[in-house]
A and B are shown apart, each in its own frame.
Chain A
């Protein structure tokens, strides 16, 4: 069986949390439990910062948790995982590791999570 993954271009992940909420609604997880979480890398001021742009390092990095089942039911029904479908920045892709690893090689600032 093909192995699946979630590819996320975190350069443009805005931290909107739609992935977190879509996932939690779909799976009805209780308070404190999530299938995916968006973590902050930063914000911290870069050494060469001035008043011009990009002076802060601030990346939002979504990380699927142990509760992520890759939206098995949806995928079996031919639908995208709900986090991918609703992602406001449209930066998430679901697919086989084979196809996603090709995409991964195309640009920096992406993460590829293997769905267990």
Chain B
């Protein structure tokens, strides 16, 4: 069930004229995806894999819509080439709202294996990265979305279990 923070996130996306969103689901993102599907102000096209999703986003951007991808941090293992050769090479603004699995509060040990590489990969790719670990930090999202458009870069918003847990 979606709650207030899920609605706040989707409201900020819409306020920032994000018109095209692709998702690969994560349990922590289920509420956001639920709210998205109730909105008729944003086109939601689920993708099978995150590199495919970034291709959709690149096309949507060239078609005049501001894109966003919603995914899990494990997907960074999939999208390095696409980030470098498509999103960064062609200077496409792309906020990545990322469920940061494997951080404090995680119950599945395997998720930690990619969590320990997450910031290193983002750092290596020189992607502006923001880590939300408390619900109060959602107030920064609006500014990050504006910054993403200004910079014409991919940006990463990492949202961990404490962030989602403190929003209950």
Do A and B interact? no
A residues whose Cβ falls under 8 Å from a Cβ of B: none
